[in-house]
Amino acid sequence: MSESDFFSNNLTEEERELYDRQFRLQGWNQSILKNSRVLMVGVGGLGCEIAKNLTMVGVGHIDLVDLDVIEHSNLNRQMLFIGAKVARPKALAAVDMLKKINPNITIKGYRSSLEQLPPVLYKKADVIISGLDSMQARLNLNTQVIRFNKPLVDGGVNGYHGHIYTIFPKINACFECYSVSSSESDDMAACTVVGIPRKRIHCLFKAMMKFEEINSNPPNVKNIKELKFLKDNANELVEKFGFEPLFEEKEIIQIIDHHDPGIITINAVIASIQSHEVIKILNYIKGNKGLGIPNKSYIIYNGMTARFYHLDKPRNDKCPQCGDDVLWEDFYLRKDQPLQLIIDGLKMKGHNLDSEMEPIITIPDFNSIRELDLQRTVLENRLFPLSLLTISGFTEGDIYVTLHIFKDKTLKHSS
Ligand SMILES: [Zn+2]
C-alpha cells in the first residue's frame, strides 16, 4: 500500500473506509478519481451500468445526459430506475439512485439532447463516455470531442455482440475518418433538408422534418393522427419520385420507433470495460501510468463464443472532422451583436468569400440542419457560450467557429 494515496489529506476518513479494497490495488490513486470529472452521455442499458460503476469507484464529479423518460421495458436491464416512476426523465431518476449509492461525490443530471446541451459541459469534462444507440448522435458527439480534444470512450451492443472504442482526437480514428456503414434509420439522418429524396427512406425522413417544422416537436408514432400525417406526406413523395411500394403504418412504426434487442449480461460486459478504460485514462492523463496504457483499438466482443477481437483504427489525416485541413476558428461577440460580424471578421483574417454563393452559418447537427440569421444577434439566434457554428461560403471550404460570448464592448477575434 506504500505507493497509494491512502493517507492523503485530500480524502476523508469515510472515503478511506469506503474505498479500502481499491487502495490495496497496485498503482491505485483515489485522489485522481476524486478530482476528476466525467460526462456520461446516454443513460440506458450501457449508461446505467457505467454510471453505477463510476459512482461506486468514486469519480468525483459525474454529469449525466439523456433526453428519454423511463419506460416499463427498461426495468429488466436498467437497475438505476428500480422503484422510479415510469415516464420520469432518466437522467434525473438516475441521479437520485446514484446519490444513495455514493453520497461522497457530485452527480448532476440533464434531461437534454446533445444538441441542446450547454457546450461548457464537454469542455469541463476530463473524459466523455457514451452509451448511445444511434449513429447520428455519435456523429454529433464526435464533433464536440474533436473540437475540445477530449477522449471519448464509446460502447455499443446489439444482441449477443458488443464493442468498445475510445477516440483519442488526432491520434486514432474518429467516427468520421471512414465512411460509416449505415442502417436505414441512419440513412434518414444522412439525408439533408434541402435536395430531393434519393432513396425511399428519405421520403419518410422528409415527412418527419415537415412534422417537426409545423409542430416544433418530433412526431409520436403511437398517436394515430401523427402517424397518418407521416404516412400521407411520405407516400406523396414516394409516388412523386417513383419509390413505390407505399409505406404502411407498421413499417413506419418499426423504422421510427426502432429498438435493438438487448440483455443485461452483454451490457454489463461492455459497460465494465468502458468504465475501466475511463479509470485508466483519468489516471494516465493525470500522470499515473500505474494502471496500464489506455486501449486505442476497436474491441469487439462475441457473447456466443466469449471471444474478444481487436482492430486497429488509424486516423485518416484527410478526415472531414479531425483531418489536418479542417479549419477551426474562435470568435468573440457580445449578445447584442449580429452574426454578420463573424463573416466580416473571417474576411479580415484573410479568408476569401466564394463569389458564387452567399455565406451561411449553420449549427452542425447530423439530425437536422438549423440555419442562423446573419442579421440577427447572438441572443436572437439563441446561441450559447461556446456554441459551435459552421460557416459556408468561403473558397477554402467550411470553417468551424467556436463562439465566445463576452460582456464588454470591444469586439475582438483571434485564432
Ligand atoms: Zn476523423
**Same domain, yes or no: 51 and 108:** yes
pLDDT at 180: 59
pLDDT at 187: 53
Q: Which of 226, 256, 286 is the last residue of a domain?
A: 256
Distance (Å) from CA 108 to ligand 1 centroid: 30
Segment 147-162, tens digit of pLDDT: 999 999 999 999 999 9
**Same domain, yes or no: 46 and 150:** yes
- For residues 278 and 155, the answer to whether their CB atoms sit within 8 Å is no
**Same domain, yes or no: 226 and 106:** no
Nearest to residue 272, comparing CAs of 98, 82, 109, 52? 52
Distance (Å) from CA 282 to ligand 1 centroid: 23
In a domain, 336, yes or no: yes
Q: Which of 294, 317, 344 is the last residue of a domain?
A: 294
Mean pLDDT to the nearest integer, 70-89: 89
Query: In whole numbers, what is the pLDDT of the chain averaged over residues?
Result: 90
Residues 6+ apart with CB under 8 A from 153: 127, 128, 129, 130, 164, 165, 166, 274, 277, 278, 281
**Same domain, yes or no: 45 and 151:** yes
pLDDT at 2: 42
Of residues 8 and 342, more confidence is placed in 342
Integer Rg of the chain from CA: 23
**Same domain, yes or no: 80 and 222:** no
pLDDT at 3: 59
Distance (Å) from CA 324 to ligand 1 centroid: 9
Distance (Å) from CA 157 to ligand 1 centroid: 22
**Cα distances (angstroms) measured from residue 182 to each of 9, 134, 135, 136, 179:** 51, 10, 8, 10, 9
Mean pLDDT to the nearest integer, 39-64: 97
C-alpha cell at 407: 460582456
Distance (Å) from CA 325 to ligand 1 centroid: 11
pLDDT at 370: 84
**Same domain, yes or no: 62 and 145:** yes
Residues 6+ apart with CB under 8 A from 157: 45, 46, 260, 262, 266, 267, 270
Distance (Å) from CA 314 to ligand 1 centroid: 9
Q: Is pLDDT above 50 for 333?
A: yes
Distance (Å) from CA 225 to ligand 1 centroid: 42
In a domain, 165, yes or no: no
Pairing relationship of beta strands 152-158 and 161-167 according to DSSP bridges:
antiparallel
Q: Give backbone dihedrals phi and psi of 304, rounded to 5 degrees, phi first.
A: -70, -40
Q: Is pLDDT above 80 for 190?
A: no
Distance (Å) from CA 210 to ligand 1 centroid: 32
Q: Is pLDDT above 90 for 96?
A: yes
Mean pLDDT to the nearest integer, 233-252: 92
**Same domain, yes or no: 274 and 138:** yes
Segment 280-332, tens digit of pLDDT: 999 999 999 999 999 999 999 999 999 999 999 999 999 999 999 999 999 99
Mean pLDDT to the nearest integer, 101-115: 94
Q: Does the reported pTM lie above 0.85?
A: no
In a domain, 366, yes or no: yes
In a domain, 265, yes or no: yes
At 377 the three-state DSSP class reads strand
Distance (Å) from CA 322 to ligand 1 centroid: 4
Distance (Å) from CA 45 to ligand 1 centroid: 27
Distance (Å) from CA 109 to ligand 1 centroid: 29
Q: Is pLDDT above 80 for 255?
A: yes
Structural domain count, the chain = 3
pLDDT at 193: 46
Distance (Å) from CA 298 to ligand 1 centroid: 14
Q: Is pLDDT above 50 for 345?
A: yes
Q: What is the CATH number of the domain that holds 246?
A: 1.10.10
**Same domain, yes or no: 241 and 264:** no
Q: What is the CATH number of the domain that holds 410?
A: 3.10.290.20
- Could you give the percent of the chain with pLDDT greater than 90? 71
In a domain, 371, yes or no: yes
Mean pLDDT to the nearest integer, 214-231: 90
Distance (Å) from CA 315 to ligand 1 centroid: 6
Mean pLDDT to the nearest integer, 51-80: 93
Nearest to residue 319, comparing CAs of 201, 176, 156, 160? 176
Query: Is the N-terminal amide bond of 169 cis, ω within 30° of 0?
Result: no
**Same domain, yes or no: 216 and 204:** yes
Degrees (nearest 5) of the Cα angle 204, 209, 211? Answer: 95
**Same domain, yes or no: 252 and 395:** no
Q: Which of 228, 256, 284 is the last residue of a domain?
A: 256
Distance (Å) from CA 171 to ligand 1 centroid: 9
Distance (Å) from CA 150 to ligand 1 centroid: 13
In a domain, 223, yes or no: yes
In a domain, 304, yes or no: no
Mean pLDDT to the nearest integer, 21-48: 95
Distance (Å) from CA 317 to ligand 1 centroid: 7
**Same domain, yes or no: 58 and 137:** yes
In a domain, 354, yes or no: yes
Segment 356-373, tens digit of pLDDT: 889 999 988 777 778 999
**Same domain, yes or no: 111 and 192:** no
- Could you give the percent of the chain with pLDDT greater than 70? 93
Q: Which domain holds residue 37?
A: 13-159+260-294
Of residues 198 and 81, more confidence is placed in 81
Q: What is the CATH number of the domain that holds 147?
A: 3.40.50.720
Distance (Å) from CA 128 to ligand 1 centroid: 17
